[in-house]
Amino acid sequence: MRNLFQQVLTKSSAGLLIVALASVLAVGCGNSDNFVFTNTAPVATTGNLTFNFVQAQGVITVPIGTTTLEFTFYDGPNQTGNVTLTDSQPYAAQVTVFGVPTNTQSYRIVARNANGAALATTTGAVTVVPGQTTTVDVTGALTVLTQPTNTALNVFVSNNGAGNAGDLDLFDQLFGFVRTFVSGNNQGIALDGIGTGFHNGDTDLNIISRLAERTGSFDNTMDRTITLAGSTTVKGSTVFPQAGVAVLADFGGNALYSVSTQGAQIATTFAATAPWDAVADETNDRLFVALTDGSIGVEDDVTTDFSAPFDRTFTATGLDNAHGIAYDAASDTLIVSDVGDPGVADDGEIYIFG
């Protein structure tokens, strides 16, 4: 960690806005006792705020790697009301924000790294003095660190566009872009509890060591590829970390593949309807599969008996074309996305099963 604004921002005197208030007097008609103000002194409507965290005003720390500071000011307390001003400046030990409206009461500062990822957020209260520069007292400021970690709040996005097919983009908890890893595959992505990535291609699976911590690209000395015999169009997948098993949904082949996380294909089971994605309930050794006919397939004893298509299925009224599927073990809740008609852009829905 290091102090926020570590390099002192200096500016020439020509760069500082100094407002001198002057009154212009005009002599009106009549004798010398009859003076009339024909132009009153301008009233300042803004002031300047200096954030100096290395002196007696308290210290805010941010993660190493902070390069940019984004300021947002509000006319209400606790970051409420209307935004009065926004500003972005390079990381430095002392930063002065100019032209802050006098009705400003609170602020938010977001520290970002070179990739634009939000690393820390600081909030606090301010008072702006018209026409003056005020050093902000940050003693009571609240800082929340949002460093990217291998948690469920971080999101890996598998790309399949014209210019980014094969890329895995990591976004942090505030949906700020963190980094890209070049896997080479372009379908579903799943992680186990230690950050190993399982990135699907149409007919194979890349197992990527320590994906959650890496930059760069697929490395044959660290990573491995499993070719899925008989597969045609693999989409989503899920992992049973304790059992060391990954399950992949093959949309084109109406099949599910069970694969050892060590690199061997274990078994294949076929479904009557094309599957799109799957999710594990490892506590109960159970698999939920999103089927494109609008139903959810349930397979019990997945890691010990992967022979039957499904032990049962269920659906909900209006569920037409299940695609994405997620399971929250803490609340025993299943979340399913329904894309509806692929040719219609606005008929998608989210279904929640408890």
Residue 310: CATH number of its domain:
2.130.10.10
The more confidently predicted of residues 148 and 117 is 117
Give the lowest-confidence range in 58-62, 103-107, 231-235: 58-62
Task: Supply the pLDDT for residue 120.
Answer: 79
Task: Supply the pLDDT for residue 306.
Answer: 78
Q: Do 36 and 139 fall into the same domain?
A: yes
| Mean pLDDT value across residues 103-119 | 84
Q: Do 135 and 230 fall into the same domain?
A: no
Residues listed for the chain: 354
Phi-psi region of 342 (alpha: psi -120 to 50; beta: other; left: phi over 0): alpha
Quote the domain boundaries for residue 125.
2-145
Spatial contact of 222 and 262, defined as CB atoms under 8 Å apart? no
Task: Supply the pLDDT for residue 85.
Answer: 95
Q: Do 138 and 160 fall into the same domain?
A: no
pLDDT in tens, 138-150: 877 887 765 444 4
| Mean pLDDT value across residues 316-330 | 94
Give the count of beta carbons closer than 10 Å to the beta carbon of residue 204: 17
Overall number of domains in the chain: 2
CATH number for the domain that contains residue 31: 2.60.40
314 lies in some domain: yes
| Mean pLDDT value across residues 189-202 | 92
Task: Supply the pLDDT for residue 118.
Answer: 72
Give the lowest-confidence range in 6-10, 193-197, 219-223: 6-10
Task: Supply the pLDDT for residue 153.
Answer: 60
Distance linking the first and last C-alpha atoms of the chain: 42
% of the chain residues with pLDDT over 90: 52
pTM of the model: 0.59
pLDDT in tens, 18-76: 333 233 333 334 443 444 445 556 778 888 888 754 333 445 666 667 889 999 999 99
Give the lowest-confidence range in 2-11, 72-81, 225-234: 2-11
| Mean pLDDT value across residues 2-31 | 36
Q: Do 95 and 240 fall into the same domain?
A: no
Task: Supply the pLDDT for residue 59.
Answer: 57
* pLDDT band for position 267 (cuts 50, 70, 90): confident
Q: What is the mean pLDDT of the chain?
A: 82
| Mean pLDDT value across residues 155-184 | 87
175 lies in some domain: yes
* pLDDT band for position 255 (cuts 50, 70, 90): very high
